[in-house]
Amino acid sequence: MINRPTPKKVRIRRSMMFMNAQKPNLLKDAYIYGVDSIIMDLEDAVAENQKDSARFSLFNTLKNIDYGDTEVIVRINGLDTPHWQEDVRVCVAAGVDGIRIAKCESADDVRTVEKAVAAAEAEFGVESGRTLLMAALESPIGIMHAYEICTASTRLFGVAISAGDLRKSLHVKSEPGGVEMFTARSQVVMAARAAGVQCFDTMWPNLDDEAGFEAETIQARQLGFDGKSLINPRQIAFVHQTFAPTKAEIAYAEKLIRSFNAQQDSGIGVYTVDGKLVDVPFFDDARRVLAQAKAIGIYHGEL
Ligand SMILES: CC(=O)SCCNC(=O)CCNC(=O)[C@H](O)C(C)(C)COP(=O)(O)OP(=O)(O)OC[C@H]1O[C@@H](n2cnc3c(N)ncnc32)[C@H](O)[C@@H]1OP(=O)(O)O
Ligand SMILES: O=C([O-])CC(=O)C(=O)O
Ligand SMILES: [Mg+2]
């Protein structure tokens, strides 16, 4: 396993909302939506003949707007394009928090971007290691290499599955219940958890099908994702609610920890709380739930 520094605080990333870097009016107000992360897109949302102007507009916005606590990530163009190196230089010079590597296929792709980021940090006098990475897995080979990608760099905080491109390669379409994505989604979650990084579900493109969006979001949480990529502000509230512990989950976690604290000297490792068996993994998970609820700001207890 890669020797990854222990993060001081795990950053909550329930929502990562895309916006087109070509549109300065979107970028300038981006922080008002309260998403956890903004993804300013230089890739597929930007027409090929607008790449330079979108990058220029992005740089000016980033230099002039204070995004406060909202994490700012830029999706750069793929490594098979003539754009990505300049994208990296501009992102680093502008001081972004992270770079999303589009269509990442291998650990080498991550290391190639990492090298360019390190060079740009040196070039622009940016603190070494400040610029984080995440990778979007959008092809069968990217999914097959998920674990190597997840462990390729200490800068890499997570991976996203990107179903628009993946479905294209698999020759499938979006099906009710997401059956066509089930294996890939599970593989991404497994790889991310094995590597100790976060994982994010893909965006839902059909803005008029709210029920479909909600079902997919719930399934992503059930599969173990930390959050979801979004394309529109009307998707934020449901995603934030779904990727947070419920009141009942918080109350039960508190109860478990209290019972553990009360019982730990009794010499009994396993017993029941509310009729359910509990032992070490259940206590560990309860601690994770409370830490997550605290980080989101919905639990203020002392545990
Ligand atoms: C497959 C992929 O690669 S997906 C990733 C790349 N794609 C993107 O970045 C696209 C992001 N999303 C969008 O551009 C838009 O939401 C669209 C084109 C899908 C739909 O646009 P609209 O029909 O205008 O959406 P809608 O009517 O819901 O917009 C309502 C308001 O939210 C704003 N808004 C919409 N999407 C976003 C967004 N992603 N970020 C910030 N603001 C947004 C609109 O500007 C509008 O503001 P206004 O009321 O002040 O005019
Ligand atoms: O990352 C995403 O969800 C959007 C995307 O590029 C895709 O679906 O191909
Ligand atoms: Mg894509």
Question: Distance between CA atoms of 113 and 45, rounded to whole angstroms?
Answer: 21
* 6: exposed, middle or buried (Cβ count in 10 Å: 0-12, 13-18, 19+): exposed
pLDDT tens, position by position, 227-242:
999 999 999 999 999 9
Residue 268: both structure tokens together: 């009994």
Write down the pLDDT at residue 92.
Answer: 98
Write down the pLDDT at residue 264.
Answer: 85
Query: 157 pLDDT exceeds 90?
Result: yes
Nearest to 185 by CA among 208, 162, 168: 162
Q: Find the 166 Cα to ligand 2 centroid distance in Å.
A: 8
Query: 3 pLDDT exceeds 80?
Result: no
Q: Mean pLDDT in the chain? A: 95
Whether the Cβ atoms of residue 100 and residue 76 lie closer than 8 Å to each other:
yes
pLDDT tens, position by position, 37-73:
999 999 999 999 999 999 999 999 999 999 999 999 9
Amino acid at 63: K
Query: 120 pLDDT exceeds 80?
Result: yes
- 20 in ligand 2 pocket by Cβ < 6 Å? no
- 162 in ligand 2 pocket by Cβ < 6 Å? yes
Whether the Cβ atoms of residue 174 and residue 163 lie closer than 8 Å to each other:
yes
Question: Distance between CA atoms of 155 and 24, rounded to whole angstroms?
Answer: 28
Whether the Cβ atoms of residue 154 and residue 2 lie closer than 8 Å to each other:
yes
Write down the pLDDT at residue 29.
Answer: 87
pLDDT tens, position by position, 195-216:
999 999 999 999 999 999 999 9
Q: Find the 130 Cα to ligand 1 centroid distance in Å.
A: 29
Write down the pLDDT at residue 118.
Answer: 98
Those residues with Cβ within 8 angstroms of residue 49's Cβ, 6 or more apart along the chain or in another chain: none
Query: 98 pLDDT exceeds 90?
Result: yes
Q: Find the 18 Cα to ligand 2 centroid distance in Å.
A: 10
Query: 28 pLDDT exceeds 90?
Result: no
Choosing from 33, 72, 232 the residue with most ligand 1 atoms within 8 A of its CB, the one to mutate for a pocket test is 232
Give the Cα-Cα-Cα angle 219, 42, 149 (nearest 5 degrees). 55
User: Quick one: average pLDDT of 95-106?
Assistant: 98
Predicted ipTM of the assembly: 0.98
Phi, psi of 24 (to 5 degrees): -60, -30
Q: Any idea which ligand is nearest the CA of 208?
A: 1
Question: Distance between CA atoms of 226 and 243, rounded to whole angstroms?
Answer: 7
- 292 in ligand 2 pocket by Cβ < 6 Å? no
Query: 6 pLDDT exceeds 90?
Result: no
Write down the pLDDT at residue 266.
Answer: 86
Write down the pLDDT at residue 69.
Answer: 93
Amino acid at 227: G
pLDDT tens, position by position, 235-266:
999 999 999 999 999 999 999 999 999 988 88
Query: 151 pLDDT exceeds 80?
Result: yes
Write down the pLDDT at residue 9.
Answer: 63
